[in-house]
Amino acid sequence: MKFYTMVFILLLGLGSISANDSFNSEMSHVVGGAVMAGGITAVVDRYYPEYKADRGMIGFGISSLSIIAFESVTVALRGDAKGQLLDVASHITGSAFGAFVTDKFILSPVVKNSTSEGKFIGLRAGVSF
């Protein structure tokens, strides 16, 4: 119940939120894209094992498509296509970074069987300080 209450309060506040094209605003889109793509990549890894080999691309794709859809609606309602394109580019940059880091360094590598590259496996190593 608490989750739904928080989401409802957040959605009520979205109508009055206004942003600009400052560095901090665009960095929030980069960080949001990285977190969103990383989270989607982790969900695909955990709950959809048949797609583990492509989990990074799935995380990047879903995150990127969602911001494109959201900003397209914003442009249709309010205009300011230049500002929205900057937001989309920032989010997609963060999505690429978040999906790549989550796929290659946070989650365990998987065995990939590619017809063009053959079968290969990645190795993750760690050092304790």
Q: Is residue 122 in some structural domain? A: no
Query: What pLDDT sits at residue 9?
Result: 63
**Domain that residue 30 falls in:** 22-109
Query: What pLDDT sits at residue 60?
Result: 96
pLDDT of 18 > 60? The answer is no
> What is the total residue count of the chain?
129
Q: Is residue 127 in some structural domain? A: no
Q: Which of 51-65, 84-98, 101-115 has the lowest mean pLDDT?
A: 101-115
Number of domains in the chain: 1
Nearest to 19 by CA among 117, 120, 90: 90
Q: What amino acid occupies position 41?
A: T
Q: Is residue 117 in some structural domain? A: no
Whole-model pTM: value is 0.70
Q: Is residue 91 in some structural domain? A: yes
Q: Is residue 129 in some structural domain? A: no
Nearest to 92 by CA among 59, 48, 43: 59
Q: Is residue 30 in some structural domain? A: yes
Contact 94, 33 (CB under 8 A): yes
pLDDT of 124 > 60? The answer is no
Query: What pLDDT sits at residue 82?
Result: 86
pLDDT tens readout for residues 40-78: 999 998 899 899 889 999 999 999 999 999 999 988 988
